[in-house]
Structure 1
Amino acid sequence: MPVLLLPLTRAVTYTRWLHMLAGAIVPFACAMVYPGLSDPSPHDWLLVAVLPVPLALAAGMVPSVRRAEGLQARLMLFPGPHARVGNDEDPGVSTAFSASWTDRARTGAWLVLRLEAGLALALVTNELPALALSLAGAAAGEPGPVGPLPYVPGAGWMYALLVPVPVLVLVMVAAGAGALMAQAARRLLGPSVKERLAELEKRTEQLLERNEIARELHDTLGHALTLAVVQAGAARAAGDPDFTGRALEAIEETGRAALEDLDRVLLVLREAGQPAGARPALDEADRLLESARSSGAQVDAEVTGPLERLPGPVSREAYRMLQEALTNVLRHAGPVRIGVRITVEAARLRLEVRNPLPDPAPVTGAGGGRGLRGIRERAALLGGEARAGRHGGHWLLQVHLPL
């Protein structure tokens, strides 16, 4: 099919055409009042084009008009889900209310453009089909005006060949004007700077929320699975029914806690706006320490200061950091002796986790694994810092968080 005929097959060509013709309703309604549509002169048509402009500018000052025009433009100027051509891209037209005088001015300019373009296209839509009908009459041998062409008796075949030309020209004009109006809609009805910033902030919040959920799942499930693996291995190696019973009990408790955390996170994912629910805080650290001890590790804990007085965000994030630190120890070093030191000072929380390095010691880059990276990210979000590395024959994790 020739490229010039492609607009004939696209639904958006006709929806744009209809959208522009609807813009001519107001000029014609005003013309019926003054100066009238009975044999109008060029001066009358100029008045028809100018008189509705103040009305359009006044309507643009109403905040809801911008939303209404944006919805119409999205629906009629751009391909919809049923279209055969690209309809995956955002049309770039806002559907929000006017939030500033700049938005109102742009809306007023759009309304004026829509009125003038609609009036021009309406006149073209009226004249070109009339020309096609005149050519059809001349082809049938009926003398009469055929527009700019002189009537030649006996040349009906020539007029018959020319009949489709005005119709095709009209469709091409309508398609081109519609494409230009779609571009103008993006410029005049597109999101303002304030709306773009709000959208950017929304996307940033969504990314942060997803990262937070990913860290929660990594810490919770990683800790539970690591403890289960270590405890199951220790129970098999011990061969003691009592120890095996205690290990199974610890695995059950750890799994139940992990399932509760998983349900909480999945609830947030399923229902937008759903609160995250209660998260464990650092004053519940005994549960982590007991889980590590039940896996065979010897945990020496030293707590200085009132943990219950810590700010909520600091206490919850510190709990997750301690959980990840204990998980890393059990995963990489096994059930070894672990030293935990928690100190609450006047303006700072200090957390230290120390364990002997296994033989051979693991090779860990400066960036660490995902667990250490998550600890550093949590600390940075709270304005603190986290350091981890070899310290003599031990591996030492230090976290400093401001209160």
Structure 2
Amino acid sequence: MGARVVSGLRARLETSLGRAGIGLPWWVPVAATVVCAVLAVAAVAQRGALVPSALAGLLAMVTALGWAVTGVIAPAWLKVLTVLAAVGILLADPVVPDFSPVLLVVLAAETALITRPAFAFAVAGSSVAMLGVAAARVGLVGFPVYVAAVLLGLSGGLMGRWYGRALDAERAARDAVRDQAVLAERQRIAREVHDVVAHSLSITLLHLTGARRALRQDRDVDEAVEGLEEAERVGRAAMADIRRTVGLLAEAPAGTHSLPGAGDIPALVERTRAAGLEVRYEQRGDLAALPDLAGLGLYRIAQESLANVAKHGGGAPARMRLDVGAAGARLTVRNRLSAPAAAGAGGSGLTGMSARAGQLGAELSAGPEGPDWVVAVSVPVGAAP
């Protein structure tokens, strides 16, 4: 039952604080209200619960009572007026020691915490002036101590306000970093899926084109069926690769197969040849010496390059060379385009290759060299994780 009451009070307070634009935990106003209530009761009790002092105690708590009835937090200026009026009534009959000036300490801390500094300084100044009048007119004892306490409450509230803003700024910075990390991961996954789909569709289209020609020109059903079966195999392999890539978004891997690397480039070339695209491939050096991330990046760049050759090369042969040495690896893909404009065909392939090269700390160039279109990427071994 008690937990339910506390939960309801917390929810109501958080709603009220949100409406008032006060970014404080729910327990802060609760603690301040309890302290004010205790001080008001003590100050009234010190004066024998006379009618003026009892009215002053009620006035000090009127904003809290108003929230209990309406659920709306009163404006700061209204609380300041009621508390100052209450303390003024109580100080008309000072006692030793007097708890009523401590209400001004709490008021100074609250206003410094939730209002503009200028308003908080004005409240603290009014409190000090009230204490000075009480000390001069009715003989309030302990004036210097009360003034020091008010100033201490003011400084504590200002420090709390600064600390809260610093926490908000830190949370905002963490959120921005997290959002950037999520965006980078999505872009990485998007590049993986793009490379797989683009290459697989290009190879599948080559097989389908071969099957169509076998049926239309050669009337060779067996060759056409072979081409269709190969297209089906490439499509199924692409689906498995896509599922494995998308599985990177999950907490656990979607499968047990590893991602491709530089050692898989020869098999990639063979699949491209089987689809009908002539590719001359040369390789030098030990591919196993490349780090996994560098090998994956080189494989994806080679995959995207061959897909671009299939789309824009007009059937012209391609030449691919991969050199691995002590200083790093260099991949070069060269083909002669049937139309110069095809080199600048739109798409995200070159953007994806540039992003991969940037991740590897590599240098990528893609553009015409005489009659050829050349893609070249150099990966320093020290730059590849």
Q: Structure 1 length normalisation: TM-score?
A: 0.58
**Cα distance between partner residues in 2 of 1:13 and 1:48:** 22
Q: Separation in 2 of the partners of 1:14 and 1:393?
A: 67
- Taking the aligned partners of 1:400 and 1:13, their CA distance within structure 2 comes to 58
**Following TM superposition, by how much is the alpha carbon of 1:34 offset from its aligned partner in structure 2, in angstroms?**
6.8
Task: Tell whether the 8 Å contact from 1:314 to 1:401 is kept in structure 2 after alignment.
Answer: yes
Matched, 1:287 2:296: no
Q: Does 1:206 align with 2:215?
A: no
Matched AA of 1:48: L
1:47 aligned partner: 102
Equivalent position to 2:226, from 231, 246, 256: 246
Query: Shift in Å at residue 361 of structure 1?
Result: 3.1
Q: Distance in 2 between matches of 1:401 and 1:14?
A: 54
Q: How does 1:1-400 map to 2 (within 5 A)?
A: 12=16, 16=20, 22=30, 23-32=32-41, 36=45, 38=49, 39=53, 41-42=90-91, 44-50=99-105, 110=113, 188=164, 191-239=167-215, 240-269=220-249, 271=250, 273-274=251-252, 278-358=258-338, 360-365=339-344, 369-400=347-378
Query: Matched residue of 1:297: which SS?
Result: coil
Structure 1 residue 261, shift from structure 2 partner:
2.3
Q: 1:372 to 1:14 in 2, by over 3 A?
A: closer
Could you tell me how far 1:224 is from its partner in structure 2?
1.0
Deviation at 1:50, TM superposition (A): 2.8
Give, as a single letter, the amino acid of the residue that structure 1 aligns with 2:340: A
Shift of 1:331: 0.8
Deviations 1:73-117 (A, max 9, x none): xxxxxxxxxxxxxxxxxxxxxxxxxxxxxxxxxx9x74999xxx9
Tell me the SS of whatever aligns to 1:24.
helix
Could you tell me whether the CA contact under 8 Å between 2:39 and 2:102 is conserved in 1? no
- Deviation of the 1:35 alpha carbon: 7.5
CA deviation profile, 1:44-84 (whole Å, cap 9, x unmatched): 4322343799xx9xxxxxxxxxxxxxxxxxxxxxxxxxxxx
* CA distance, structure 2, for counterparts of residue 328 and residue 230 of structure 1: 12
Once the two structures are TM-superposed, the CA of residue 318 in structure 1 deviates from its matched residue by: 0.9
Contact 2:337–2:343 (8 Å) recurs in 1: no
Report SS of the residue matched to 2:340.
coil
RMSD: 3.8
Query: How far does residue 20 in structure 1 lie from its aligned partner after superposition?
Result: 8.3
Shift of 1:190: 6.1
Whole-angstrom CA distance in 2 between matches of 1:246 and 1:368: 32
Q: Within 2, Cα distance between the matches of 1:241 and 1:288?
A: 27
CA distance in 2, matches of 1:21, 1:193: 23
Structure 2: which amino acid aligns with 1:230? L
Contact preservation (8 Å) 2:114, 2:161: no
Structure-2 change in CA distance of 1:346 and 1:27 (3 Å) = same
Please state whether the residue corresponding to 1:353 is helix, strand or coil.
strand
The alignment partner of 2:377 has SS state of: strand
Q: Which runs of 5+ in 1 are unaligned?
A: 1-10, 57-106, 121-180
Distance 1:231 1:36, change over 3 A: farther
Structure-2 change in CA distance of 1:363 and 1:15 (3 Å)? closer
Relative to structure 1, the CA distance from residue 363 to residue 223 in structure 2 (aligned partners, 3 Å threshold; closer, same or farther) is closer
How far apart, CA to CA, are the structure 2 residues paired with 1:397 and 1:15?
59
Change (3 A) 1:51 1:207: closer
The CA deviation string for residues 352-384 of structure 1, in whole angstroms up to 9 with x for no partner, is 1111221x333444x964211211121122111
CA contact (8 A) 1:349 1:400 kept: yes
Q: 1:343 & 1:279 partners in 2: Cα distance?
A: 21
Mapped partners of 1:316, 1:21: distance in 2: 57
> Shift of the alpha carbon at 1:244?
2.3
3-state DSSP class of the match of 2:304? helix
Change (3 A) 1:318 1:47: same
Contact kept in structure 1, 2:305 and 2:333, CA below 8 Å: yes
Tell me the equivalent position of 2:380: 402
SS in 2 for 1:401: strand
Q: Where does residue 59 of structure 1 map in the other structure? A: none
Higher relative contact order (CA 8 A, sep 6+): 1
Q: Tell me, in whole angstroms, the C-alpha distance in 1 between the residues paired with 2:290 and 2:279.
A: 23
Cα distance change, pair 13–324 in 1 and its aligned pair in 2 (3 A): closer
Rounded to whole Å, the distance in 2 between the matches of 1:382 and 1:21 is 53
Residues 388 and 46 of structure 1: CA distance in aligned 2, closer, same or farther (over 3 Å): same
